[in-house]
Amino acid sequence: MTAINSVVDLGRDGEIAIVTVNSPPVNALSADVRDGLAGAFAAIAGDSSVKAVVLACAGRTFIAGADISEFGKPPRGASLPAVQDAIEGAPVPVIAAIHGTALGGGLEVALTAHYRVSDARAKFGLPEVKLGLLPGAGGTQRLPRVVGAKQALAMVTSGTPIGAKAALAAGLIEEIVEGDLTAGAVAFARKVVAEGRPLKRIRDDASKLGGDAASLAPMFAEFRAANARAFKGFDAPEANIKCIEAAVALPFDEGLKVERSEFMKLMTGLQSAAQRHVFFAERQAAKIDGLPADTQPLPIASVGIIGAGTMGGGIAMNFLSVGIPVTIVETKQEALDRGIAVIRRNYENSAKKGRFSMEEVEARMARLTPSLSLDDLHSVDLVIEAVFENMAIKKEIFGKLDRIAKPGAILASNTSYLNVDEIASATARPESVLGMHFFSPANVMRLLEVVNGARTSKQALATAMAVGKQIGKIGVVSGVCHGFIGNRMLGKRQEQANKLILEGARPADVDRVLVEFGFPMGPFQMSDLAGLDIGWSADTSKGETVRDRLCEAGLRGQKNGKGFYDYDADRNRTPSPVAEQIILDYAAEKGINRREIDDQEILERCLYPMVNEGAKILDEGMAQRASDIDIVWINGYGWPVYRGGPMFWAEHDAGRETIAAALERMGMDVSPRLKAGF
C-alpha cells in the first residue's frame, strides 16, 4: 500500500487498485482528501497493469460530503470537479464501495464512479438543501439520470437519505455486499472486468430521466404546489427544483452550468451562511464548557416522571420510545388514567399513520408503569418532576424525593421559569438536582434546556445532556435565571407585543409581521393556542391587564373558539371584535395615545429587545455561547432556520450597532456585549 498523502492510500489486490480515503471523523472532502484522490487517480491512469479501481473509505463512513468548514474560505488544492473528472474519465472501471453515509459531495463523487456497491446499512442522500445549498458537484444532473427526475426532486429538496435497499431498487447501486465490503467490491470489480462491462458514465445516459421537459412539466408544477408551504421563506428548495428541471431540459454540460450558477448564488447568500452556522451551532451546543475530559455520564436505565399531564405524558413518551422504562406518578387515579390514555392514543395515531406497528405500540406501553405513590421511584436513575409551576409544591416534592430516591439519582425539574437552586435547597443533595426544561409538545419539540444549578455536579449536568441526546433532543445548557434562555427572551418580545397593541397596532398586524419574518405563528396566535387563562384565576383576577379582561369576558383562546381571534369549527381565525374593543377601552382608560404603527416598528420592537436580552444572558454567563441561544430559538420557538437564530441575525443581518442605537432611542438599557460583540 502506498500513501498518496496523509489521508489517501493506494493499495492493490492483484490487478485491482484500491483507493482508500482515511480522514476522520467523516471523510469530508477537504483539500487534502481532494489532493489525495487526484494523486491516486493520476497514478492509476499511468499504470496499465490496473484493470479496475475500488474507491472505498476507512472509518465510520464513506465520504459524508464537502468539508463544510472550508466554505467561504479561499480555495485550496485540487478542485472537486477535477477529481470527479479524473474518476469518471479513468481508463478502467471505477467501483465505489459505500458504507455509512454517502452524502452530498460524497454521493456526487460516487456518482462519477462507473459502478456502485454498498453494505446493507449504507445511506445515500443529497442533504445540501438543509445547509441552504444545492448539490454543487453535478448531483442535480447525475442523480436524475440514475433514479429519474421525480425521485431526484424529492431527494434534493428534502435532503432525506435513502437506504441501501431503496438505492438498489432505484438503480443507484448495483449490488448490496454481504460480508467484507472491500472484498465484495473487489470481487464485483473482477466480474466487471471479466464480463468486459462498459465504463458506465452517468453523464452520457439520459434514458432514465423519466421524460422530457414538456412531459414532466406537470410533475414539476404539482411538486411546487404540494410543497409551497414547506418551502416558504427558503431560497434553496426552488433553486434545487430549477436544477432538476435543467437536467431534464438541457444537455448534461449545459445543466451543469445552471447548477453552478444556482449553487454560487446560494453559497454567497445569507440563508446558507445561516444554515451552515446552525449545523455547527447544533453540534457545539452539546459541548459543556469546563467539563473535565474524564467525566462519565451516569447510565440512565429507568426514569420516573411526576405528573401525567400534557408535559409529563409527552416527556414520558420520549423515553418509552427509545426503550427506557418509565414509572409515571400522579396523585389521583383519574388523572393517571387520563394521562396514560393520552400516551396510548398518541402512539396509536402514529401507528395508524404507518410510523410503526401496533406491536410496537404495545411494546412501548409495556414499558410504562403507572403509580399513585412517589415511593415507587426509589430505584429509578432519573426523576423528572412535571407538575404545575408552584414553588411550594415543587419544594415539597423534592423534599420527599430526597428521602425516596436512591443515592446518585438525578433529580430534575421541568420548570419553565422557577429558580432551580431554590428547588434544590429542599434536598440534601443539590449536586444531583438540575432543570430539564422540555418544550410542548414534549414528545415532538427537539429543544431541551438543561438548567445548571449553582451546586449541580458536572457529572449530573453531563448525564442530563447525554440522556437528552439519547432521546433525540438538542440539549442546551442554561444558567439559573427567570425563564432561562428561551422564555426570558420571549418575555421581552411579549412585553413589546402587549405595548404595541395598546399603542395602535392590531394583534393581527403583530402576528402577521412575525409570520412574514418566518415564525410559524405570532405572539397572539401563540397566546390563543396556549390558552389565555393559563395562570389566570377568576377568583383573584382584578382586571389589571388586557389578558385579565379578556379572560373575565370569557375569552379563553382556541379552546373555546374565542381569544384575540374568533375561531370557526375548522380553526380558521378572524380578528375578534370583542378583543379589539377590550384593547381599545383599556388603552383609553390608561390614557394611551393610539397612532399608526408601521411593520418595521413592529419588527424592531419585537425582535431588538430579544437580542438585547440574549446579550445580557451572555453578559451574565447564563448561556455558554451566542450560538446556543440561536439553537434555543430555532428549536424551541420556531425562529426561521434560514435566519440563523437571533444572535446570528443580529450579527450578520440586522447589525448589532443598528440594534443598539435603536434600543437607545427606545430608552432601553443596552447590554455592553451588544455593542462590543458577542
Query: Which of 93, 132, 135, 640 is the binder for ligand 3HC (CB under 6 A)?
Result: 135
Query: Which of 67, 235, 548, 628 is the binder for ligand 3HC (CB under 6 A)?
Result: 67
Q: Characterize 606-620 residue by residue with b for buried, 16 or more Cβ atoms within 10 angstroms of its Cβ, and e for exposed.
A: bbbbbbbbbbbbbee
Question: Does position 28 bind ligand 3HC by CB under 6 A?
Answer: yes
Q: Which is nearer to ligand 3HC, 28 or 434 (CB)?
A: 28
Q: How far is the CB of 128 from ligand 3HC (least distance, A)?
A: 5
Query: Which of 21, 38, 55, 66 is the binder for ligand 3HC (CB under 6 A)?
Result: 66
Q: How far is the CB of 405 from ligand 3HC (least distance, A)?
A: 32
Contacts of 420 (CB under 8 A, 6+ apart): 413, 433, 434, 435, 451, 453, 456, 480
Q: What are the residue numbers of the active site?
A: 108, 128
Question: Does position 137 bind ligand 3HC by CB under 6 A?
Answer: yes
Q: Which is nearer to ligand 3HC, 81 or 211 (CB)?
A: 81
Q: Contacts with ligand 3HC in 267-306 (CB under 6 A)?
A: 283
Query: Which of 25, 74, 407, 591 is the binder for ligand 3HC (CB under 6 A)?
Result: 25
Evaluated on CA atoms 469, 471, 472, 475, the torsion sign reads: negative
Question: Does position 138 bind ligand 3HC by CB under 6 A?
Answer: no
Q: Which is nearer to ligand 3HC, 126 or 550 (CB)?
A: 126
Q: Is 513 exposed, middle or buried (0-12, 13-18, 19+ CB in 10 A)?
A: buried
- Long-range contacts from 272-275, C-beta under 8 angstroms, 24+ separation: 272/131, 272/132, 272/133, 272/236, 273/72, 273/132, 273/644, 273/652, 274/132, 274/641, 274/642, 274/643, 274/644, 274/645, 274/648, 274/649, 274/652, 275/130, 275/131, 275/132, 275/133, 275/641, 275/642, 275/644
User: Cα–Cα distance between 639 and 637 in angstroms, integer?
Assistant: 6
DSSP label of 623: B
Q: Which is nearer to ligand 3HC, 280 or 388 (CB)?
A: 280
Strand runs labelled E in 71-166: 94-98, 101-103, 115-118, 123-125, 162-163
Query: Which of 10, 18, 40, 64 is the binder for ligand 3HC (CB under 6 A)?
Result: 64
Q: Contacts with ligand 3HC in 92-111 (CB under 6 A)?
A: 101, 103-105, 108
Reported residue count of the chain is: 678
* Segment near ligand 3HC (CB under 6 A); pick from 62-70, 384-392, 402-410, 447-455: 62-70
User: Cα–Cα distance between 447 and 443 in angstroms, integer?
Assistant: 10
Question: Does position 259 bind ligand 3HC by CB under 6 A?
Answer: no
Query: Which of 7, 16, 21, 26 is the binder for ligand 3HC (CB under 6 A)?
Result: 26
Question: Does position 119 bind ligand 3HC by CB under 6 A?
Answer: no
Q: How far is the CB of 85 from ligand 3HC (least distance, A)?
A: 15
Angle at which helices 80-88 and 31-45 pack, to 10 degrees? 30
Query: Which of 18, 131, 243, 497 is the binder for ligand 3HC (CB under 6 A)?
Result: 131
Instruction: Report the interface residues with ligand 3HC, using CB under 6 A.
Output: 25-26, 28, 61, 64-69, 101, 103-105, 108, 127-128, 131, 133, 135-137, 139, 283
